[in-house]
């Protein structure tokens, strides 16, 4: 299917991708993100002091496979007479940009390791070449999501063939964002566990306050990411049943892989199901902003509450009631504030036009 922009000649228009193409790109993107998390696991479990590790190979082979597919598709479009900027299917131009940024980051990363050595612990997440790689990866894996967003259908994609690559792309995008913020994620850094917090409580006052700040900050950061992605979906589509249950669970499964904390998948699965149920019941939309605000506040609140319930039933919670309820409240407040960014209130001029003034 072709989409014509400002011309009567369909031969000059960038094509929409087929469901098969989206599925292939989602599959190769999954290869890359799995490689990213396996590499993250290796940094926590295997002592390797070399760039050329088998764990890097999984990640970068996925990158090469994606690059080959994109470049072949680009060449095919150019040979068909399309201009360079329209030779890729709609939504995948930024994936090409992501490949360039990611590749540049990989080259810089190799040189960085030779000059400065390998990063220690959380340094790996703030290393400039790694940030370049993360930025490129977000553009790469979000190709099927952008392709679905830019299709002419307004509210619902026509079939599962269209939904599945988009949802996989969403889960991968979310997982790249959560990987880049591992130092501020409650699943990867469960500071509230009783045994861990007892150790923190023995620290001097300033160090304990820092632990409290980082711990609470993790809920704020992840609530913002969750609410932001969720509200973008609500703004564009009516999601199918269990869509977010699968997305929430997939993201938690990848995160729990890093430190083998698979028991923390359960609260994410339950949160995803609760989110799907809430969307089905409320049908949130911009015409009823209160529904959007309610969903934006409730989903992070449910996620944080489920997390603490799971902790209490398994490893135990070391935080005080003030810390626990404060984290829950701040999660809800963060989601609510994000809703005003994605669904801002109408301006006075907008209100007047709606009333025919």
How is the chain split into domains, by residue range?
Answer: 10-162, 181-347
- Rounded to the nearest 5 percent, the helix, strand and coil shares of the chain are 75, 0, 25
Query: 157-162: long-range contacts at Cβ-Cβ below 8 A with a sequence spacing of 24 or more?
Result: 157/237, 159/19, 160/240, 161/19, 161/23, 162/19, 162/22
pLDDT tens for 81-107 read 889 889 999 999 999 999 999 999 888
In DSSP terms, which residues pair with 63 in a beta bridge?
none
Are the beta carbons of 182 and 40 closer than 8 angstroms? yes
Least confident among 106-120, 135-149, 217-231: 106-120
Q: Is the dihedral of CA 150, 153, 155, 160 positive or negative?
A: negative
pLDDT at 329 (0 to 100): 98
- The label of the residue with tokens 């799971």 reads 310
Going by C-alpha positions, the residue among 66, 70, 73, 68 that lies closest to residue 32 is 66
Q: Which residues contact 182 (CB under 8 A, 6 or more apart)?
A: 40, 122, 125, 188, 189, 255, 258
What is d(CA 305, CA 325) in angstroms, rounded to the nearest whole number?
9
pLDDT at 48 (0 to 100): 62
Confidence of residue 158 (pLDDT cuts 50, 70, 90): low
CB atoms within 10 A of CB 137: 28
Q: Is the dihedral of CA 158, 163, 164, 165 positive or negative?
A: positive
Confidence of residue 201 (pLDDT cuts 50, 70, 90): confident
Q: Between these two residues, 357 and 183, which has the higher pLDDT value?
A: 183
- Residue 62 predicted with pLDDT over 70: yes
- Tell me the whole-structure pTM to 2 decimals: 0.88
pLDDT tens for 252-304 read 999 999 888 888 999 999 999 999 999 999 999 889 999 999 999 999 999 99
């Amino acid at each position: 299917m072709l989409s014509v922009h400002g011309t009567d000649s369909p031969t000059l228009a960038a094509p929409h991708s087929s469901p098969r193409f989206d599925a292939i790109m989602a599959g190769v993107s999954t290869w890359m993100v799995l490689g990213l998390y396996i590499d993250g696991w290796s940094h926590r479990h295997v002592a390797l002091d070399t760039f050329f590790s088998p764990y890097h190979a999984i990640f970068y082979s996925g990158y090469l496979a994606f690059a080959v597919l994109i470049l072949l598709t680009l060449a095919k479009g150019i040979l068909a007479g399309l201009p360079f900027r329209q030779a890729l299917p709609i939504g995948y131009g930024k994936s090409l940009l992501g490949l360039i940024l990611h590749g540049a980051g990989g080259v810089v990363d190799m040189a960085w390791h030779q000059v400065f050595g390998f990063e220690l612990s959380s340094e790996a997440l703030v290393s400039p070449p790694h940030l370049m790689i993360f930025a490129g990866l977000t553009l790469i894996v979000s190709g099927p999501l952008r392709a679905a967003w830019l299709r002419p259908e307004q509210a619902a994609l026509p079939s599962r063939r269209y939904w599945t690559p988009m949802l996989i792309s969403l889960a991968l995008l979310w997982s790249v964002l959560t990987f880049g913020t591992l130092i501020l994620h409650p699943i990867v850094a469960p500071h509230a566990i009783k045994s861990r917090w007892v150790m923190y409580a023995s620290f001097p006052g300033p160090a304990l306050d820092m632990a409290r700040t980082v711990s609470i900050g993790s809920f704020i950061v992840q609530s913002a990411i969750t609410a932001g992605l969720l509200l973008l979906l609500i703004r564009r589509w009516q999601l199918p049943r269990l869509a977010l249950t699968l997305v929430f669970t997939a993201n938690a499964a990848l995160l729990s892989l890093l430190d083998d904390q698979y028991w923390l998948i359960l609260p994410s699965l339950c949160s995803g199901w609760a989110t799907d149920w809430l969307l089905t019941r409320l049908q949130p939309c911009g015409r009823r902003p209160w529904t959007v605000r309610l969903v934006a506040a409730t989903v992070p609140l449910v996620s944080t509450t489920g997390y603490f319930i799971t902790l209490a039933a398994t490893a135990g919670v070391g935080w005080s009631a003030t810390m626990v309820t404060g984290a829950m409240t701040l999660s809800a407040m963060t989601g609510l504030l994000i809703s005003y960014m994605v669904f801002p209130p109408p301006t006075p001029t907008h209100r007047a036009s709606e009333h025919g003034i």
